Every structure is written in structure tokens, then in C-alpha cells.
């Protein structure tokens, strides 16, 4: 039974990571920030079936897809979040 959840988590991580990379156009500082944040979220998430929410993951992937299409509000939100995380890491 845990193998099913492992596959779900792995698939969710990969979908989120790929769509996030497309959203930031594989830019060098942003891709490492995204990778670190995703790893932190998945490692501290608990890993149980209760923590897995397919609709939240689908909404986040859709947000990343919208951010990758053009310079819309989604792109600006993602850009600002990445800038905040980048400077938090630099100042600590």
C-alpha cells in the first residue's frame, strides 16, 4: 500500500518540478530556488495519504502552466516569490 503512495508522491513531485521549471524558463537562480523549496515541502510534508491532495497539486501545476505562457499576473507572482526566497537565502 505504501508503494502506491510513493508513486503518487513521486509523480506529483515530478509534475510540479517540470511545470515550475517551464514557468521560470529554466533560469539559473530560479531553478535552484524552486528545487530547494519543493524538496523542503516534500520532505517535511509527512508523507501520509492524508497529506496528499490531488486538487491542490493540480491547481499548482495549472498556476505554473499559466505563469509559463506569458508575462501575466501568475508570472509576476511567481517571480516575486522566487526573489523573496532568493534574498532570504542570501541574508541567512
Which position has the higher pLDDT, 90 or 60? 60
Of residues 64, 63, 62, the one with CA closest to residue 22? 64
**pTM score of the predicted model:** 0.85
The backbone torsions φ and ψ at residue 51, rounded to the nearest 5 degrees and listed phi first, read -75, -20
| Segment 41-72, tens digit of pLDDT | 888 866 566 677 889 999 999 999 999 998 88
Predicted local confidence at residue 1, as pLDDT: 46
Angle at 34 between CA 31 and CA 36, to 5 degrees: 110
Over residues 6-28, mean pLDDT: 93
The domain of 87 spans 2-91
Over residues 22-31, mean pLDDT: 94
Q: How far is the C-alpha of 67 from the C-alpha of 44, rounded, in Å?
A: 26
Q: How many structural domains compose the chain?
A: 1
Q: How far is the C-alpha of 12 from the C-alpha of 31, rounded, in Å?
A: 17
Amino acid at each position: 500500500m505504501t508503494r502506491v503512495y510513493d508513486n503518487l508522491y513521486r509523480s506529483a513531485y515530478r509534475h510540479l518540478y517540470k511545470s515550475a521549471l517551464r514557468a521560470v524558463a529554466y533560469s539559473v537562480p530560479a531553478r535552484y530556488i524552486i528545487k530547494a523549496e519543493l524538496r523542503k515541502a516534500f520532505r517535511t510534508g509527512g508523507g501520509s495519504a492524508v497529506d496528499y491532495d490531488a486538487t491542490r497539486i493540480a491547481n499548482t501545476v495549472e498556476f505554473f502552466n499559466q505563469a509559463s505562457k506569458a508575462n501575466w499576473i501568475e508570472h509576476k507572482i511567481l517571480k516575486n516569490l522566487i526573489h523573496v526566497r532568493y534574498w532570504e537565502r542570501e541574508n541567512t
